[in-house]
Amino acid sequence: MKKWLTFAAVIIIIQLFFVALPDKNTFLPSPLGVFLSLADQLQQGEIWLHIATSLARVVIGFLLAASLAIPLGILSGYSRTFNDFLKPFVEILRPIPPIAWIPIAILLFGVGNGSSYFIVFLGAFFPIFTNTYFGSVSLPVVYRNVALSFEVGRNKFITKILFYFSLPYIFTGLKIGIGMAWMSLIAAELIGAQSGLGYFIQINRLLLRIDNVIVGMILIGAIGLALARSLTVLEKKIMPWLPQSKDSSY
């Protein structure tokens, strides 16, 4: 809680700075001004639609990415042949920023939600895949040996041993992936969308409502944080065998 107190203190100091300012006619709104605009927007209701739209897009794209990246990552770690096949694709595609795909996305999926899912998918896929793969290849030799000696079958080995061993790595990937997905989505919405928080910022920029632009930014930050936090909560629920650290929120 303490870190949020210092955070609030900094905001108050900025507000005091604005109060002390002789010329009130700046482009930048004061913290209080932004806060009032935020309250206003939340009351008007339209912003909720943008929030819901962006959230739906990020969740769907993210789930699509996870459901493909996790199995592929596990299998890549399990099978050398499979990894050799997949690696060139991953290596060449990974450095391309998701927003560079926007023209292709629009050609493939039009301007609707399909493009957004695709961009989110690309943002989330690589961190999840890479971390899962890393987990899968770091299985200690002793576990592999135990599985061999006890003649644990291949399917059981992959689903009960390799997957569970990799889970902490997978969650690292998911946490990085959700952040990447969220950022990619907002960038995509800034460029080519008719709804969502990115669009909300863009339209208010054109209307010169900088207070609303900042409202949009605050919401993006808060929702991004909430998404990452919910994964941390899920992580603790799913992996009770790990020692619980005091604060792993970063």
Partner 1 sequence: MLNLDNINFSYGQGEPAGGRLLDNFNLKISEGELLSLVGPSGCGKTTLVNIIAGYLRPISGRVIVDGNVVTAPGKDRIVINQENDLFGWMTVWGNMKIISEDETLIRKYLELTNLSDFTGYYPRQLSGGMKKRLSLARALLADPKFIIMDEPFVSLDYKIREKLQEEILKIIKESGKTVLLVTHDVDEAIFLSDKIILISGRPLTIKSELKIALSHPRKIAVKDSEEFRSLRNSVKNSL
Cβ of residue 241: shortest distance to partner 1, in angstroms? Answer: 4
Which residue, 6 or 149, has its beta carbon nearer to partner 1?
Answer: 149
Cβ of residue 24: shortest distance to partner 1, in angstroms? Answer: 60
From CA 189, how far away is CA 192, in angstroms rounded? 5
Q: Which residue has the tokens 């700046």?
A: 26
Cβ of residue 34: shortest distance to partner 1, in angstroms? Answer: 46
Which residue, 13 or 146, has its beta carbon nearer to partner 1?
Answer: 146
Cβ of residue 239: shortest distance to partner 1, in angstroms? Answer: 7
Cβ of residue 105: shortest distance to partner 1, in angstroms? Answer: 38
From CA 162, how far away is CA 224, in angstroms rounded? 30
Which residue, 94 or 156, has its beta carbon nearer to partner 1?
Answer: 156
For residue 130, give both structure tokens. 């890479």
Which residue, 90 or 139, has its beta carbon nearer to partner 1?
Answer: 139
Q: Are 88 and 97 in contact (CB under 8 A)?
A: no
Neighbouring residues of 205: CB distance < 8 A, sequence distance ≥ 6: 213
Binding residues vs partner 1 (CB under 8 A):
142-143, 145-146, 148-152, 156, 160-161, 164-165, 167, 239-243
For residue 180, give both structure tokens. 């990447």
Return the H-helix or E-strand segment holding 27. none
Cα dihedral across residues 105, 108, 111, 116: positive or negative: negative
Which residue, 134 or 157, has its beta carbon nearer to partner 1?
Answer: 157
Q: Phi, psi (5° rounding) for residue 181?
A: -60, -45
From CA 55, how far away is CA 35, in angstroms rounded? 22
C-alpha distances in angstroms, 103 versus 52, 107, 182, 240?
25, 6, 19, 44
Which residue, 9 or 148, has its beta carbon nearer to partner 1?
Answer: 148
**How far out from the chain centre does Cα 21 lie?**
38
Cβ of residue 214: shortest distance to partner 1, in angstroms? Answer: 44
